[in-house]
Amino acid sequence: MIFSLNFFSAAFAHQGIAKNLSYAFLLGAVVISVPYIFQKNFGFTLPIKLIGIAIIFSNVTCYLFWDQSLVNSVSIIPYITWFVFLYLDHIEYDLEKIEKIVIIYGFLYLVLFFYQFYRNDTVLFGFKEEFKEDRGVIRIDFPGGGIFYLAYFIALTKITGQAARKWLYVLFMLLGITAVILQVTRQSILAILIITLFHFLKDASIGKKLAVVGLFGLAVLAFFNIENPIATGLADKSAETASEGGQYIRLLAAEYFVGDFSPNIFCTIFGNGFPNNSSNYGQFHLNLGYKYGYFLSDLGIIAFFVMFGILPVIAYAYIFIKSIFIKVPPEFIYLRYYTFLILLTSFTSDYLYSLNFLIANIFVIYGYQVMMKYANYQTVQISYS
């Protein structure tokens, strides 16, 4: 886990031994997982294979049409850890063990985030460009968000379930909401609040639902009408986005990357490859960001398509659609919540493929795979009885 997050992108892991160790471990994980690519397809194994193979093949187009050397393409190693799903599926790793690991790393995330927030004058985790005064506070886009959000949804599920030590999960939820608000990312705040309200109100009476929603609405109005820098910053940013209309920078970036970026139809279909910042191709991407504000990381599934082609997009669509129809017991409802978060941000963030979210995405899809296997086992048992 810690290698997939590259030590939460700690400053010491940006290069040198720590980074090489992470890459070596991830490559090893991929190597032991790839043989299971030949196993019989069931559930989500086929789309996972398609995503991994497409990412690898996109390096060919990157080499042929963007002159990025195969040596630079080593940067895709963390992105092909998709194949680890196949290993987890083969050994049928215990889902409850994954939950415990995620909760532990979720708490670690919170400890490190609040420490970095306190020490915001020094970049200890992430990169300097992820630290800026924005929307009223020092905004820190802290690495490892996928594990944090998954841990938050697990904690939410445990609070209303039969778990012991519920106070621990309540503490995590309260600290988690605070961390999300302090990172002042509108889509994440919205998703967390909607999911949290839904979770606690889904079994309540209509009267209680209306009362709580009304009180929540008043609380939001009060928050935005009192003098506080976070509320002012969020309101100003929303007004700025609304005023941009058709000139909204994400729309302009999407139009460019979809319509004008790829040099030929081959790259459009099979992807342009992942840019290594040390290559000319990578520098071209950076210049697009610095000069025009066009960042692939703001475009979600569109960025996935631009880099890796149409096959991974089809595979992801298959995963999302299939997951909707899988029966999920109440104790695993966090799988649904995490999926909703990814869907909500699928056009405006890099949560779909970011290294900060990738291992959590794999865990959630594996969770659905376990649900499918259990349902299939139940069907087989009934047919034999």
Under the banding of pLDDT at 50, 70 and 90, the label for residue 14 is confident
Q: Is residue 90 part of a domain?
A: yes
Mean pLDDT (the chain) is 85
Work out the number of other CB atoms within 10 angstroms of the CB of residue 103: 20
Distance, first Cα to last Cα, the chain: 42
- pLDDT value of residue 244: 47
Q: Which domain holds residue 303?
A: 6-384
pLDDT score recorded for residue 229 = 59
Q: Is residue 312 part of a domain?
A: yes
Max Cα–Cα distance, the chain, nearest Å: 67
Q: How many distinct structural domains can be found in the chain?
A: 1
- pLDDT higher than threshold 90 for residue 380: no
Mean pLDDT throughout 151-161? 94
Residue 214 inside a domain? The answer is yes
Strand partners, 99: none
Does residue 293 sit within a domain? yes
Average pLDDT, integer, range 349-369: 93
- At position 282, the amino acid (one-letter code) is G
Residues 29 and 84: beta-carbon distance below 8 Å? yes
Tokens representing residue 154 in the block: 């697990």
Say yes or no to pLDDT of 169 above 60.
Answer: yes
Residue 358 lies in a domain: yes
Question: 265: pLDDT confidence band, cut at 50, 70 and 90?
Answer: very high
Residue 66 included in any domain: yes
1 within domain boundaries: no
